[in-house]
Amino acid sequence: MDKDLLDIKSAATADIELILNTASSFKDVLSRDIKKVPTLRGKTAVNLFFEPSTRTKTSFELAEKRLSTDVINFVVPSSSVAKGETLYDTIKTIESYGIDFIIIRHQFSGVPHFISRISKASVINAGDGINEHPTQALLDAFTIKEQKGTIAGLKIAIVGDISHSRVAKSNIYCLKKLGADIRLIAPHTLIPTGIENDVTEIYHDIESGIADIDVIMTLRIQQERQSGGFFSSTDEYFKFWGLTLKRLGKARPDVIVMHPGPMNRGVEIASEVADSRHSVINTQVTNGLAVRMAVLYLLDSARPRK
Ligand code: CP
């Protein structure tokens, strides 16, 4: 393991497997009456979110607390960032406390890599621009393995706004390393160029794309990263690309439906699918906690001692 988790593209398959196996042990810990362990007592984590988050932020904070880490939740709008302090000076200021982990979400791709170069702390990418969201892919892989027993050989469809999705990119790299057949389903306007080398198939029709699929990942339309013109309207998007129960009927009978959240019900997914027996969306959130505990634990072991 490296001291940082910056992306899945450059991660070793053996490290991904180690994180998934370690997360399994932490999931057992989380089923006990006393869910807190002293593993990272005396360590300090800073959660530095420059973009909104519900799942990733709460899950990292809870993972840190369950491991007995001291936690600083850095609130960007009320910090000196609002007075023009640079990212470099913000990191150097925080680091003066002798912190061990920086969990960073930022609107610009590459910011976690920049912080990694200037900081001795373990840096964890909690989502950078349209680049990657590595812990989301790890929790998704953990959930698939838990539900299906394996990942290798499964037919996994990723449906929707692939172009603007860091979740899609991390998942494509992760699931490919773990041996899945990856099928992308999206309009031509929402498929990035060059991605065909990393996936098995690309479909531009959801009806035929879903046939015989084991796992469907639906993606939110990332309107905050779009300049417009990729599709006519959300109503039309749902009509042609929305995951409905009727369309789900074309997949394998034991298909599971995933979504990284937050969902736009009635845009990329119908409520009747999101709340159906096929949905593992809330299980993904549960598993995010165990996976993030595993990442914190393993990175701490990999960081050179001070
Ligand atoms: N999946 C995900 O990153 O969700 P949040 O934006 O709520 O953290």
Residues 191 and 298 in one domain: no
Pocket of ligand 1 (CB under 6 A): 53-57, 127, 133, 136, 260-262
Residues 95 and 78 in one domain: yes
Residues 125 and 147 in one domain: no
Residues 140 and 107 in one domain: no
Residue whose CA is closest, atom 7 of ligand 1? Answer: 54
β-sheet bridge partners, residue 185: 159, 203
Q: Rounded to the nearest 5°, which phi and psi values hold at 268?
A: -95, -15
- Judge whether 148 lies within some domain: yes
Domain holding 124, by residue range, is: 13-133+285-302
Residues 129 and 141 in one domain: no
Q: How far apart are CA 91 and CA 76, in angstroms?
A: 12
Residues 88 and 113 in one domain: yes
pLDDT at residue 229 in the model: 64
User: Which strands, in side-by-side order, build the sheet including 44-49?
Assistant: 70-74, 44-49, 101-106, 122-128
Residue whose CA is closest, atom 5 of ligand 1? Answer: 53
Residues 128 and 177 in one domain: no
Contact 56, 126 (CB under 8 A): yes
Residues 108 and 96 in one domain: yes
- Judge whether 3 lies within some domain: no
Residues 154 and 241 in one domain: yes
Known binding positions for L-aspartate: 83, 166, 220
In the predicted model, residues of the chain with pLDDT beneath 70 are 223-231, 306
- Judge whether 121 lies within some domain: yes
pLDDT at residue 291 in the model: 98
Residues 95 and 165 in one domain: no
CATH assignment at residue 186: 3.40.50.1370
pLDDT at residue 115 in the model: 98
Residues 57 and 157 in one domain: no
pLDDT at residue 48 in the model: 98
Confidence (pTM) = 0.96
Q: What is the pLDDT of residues 203-251, one digit of tens each?
A: 999 999 999 999 999 999 876 666 666 667 888 999 999 999 999 999 9
Residues 273 and 139 in one domain: yes
Contact 179, 141 (CB under 8 A): no
- Judge whether 5 lies within some domain: no
Count how many domains the chain has: 2
pLDDT at residue 64 in the model: 98
CA of 285 to the centre of ligand 1 (A): 9
- Judge whether 1 lies within some domain: no
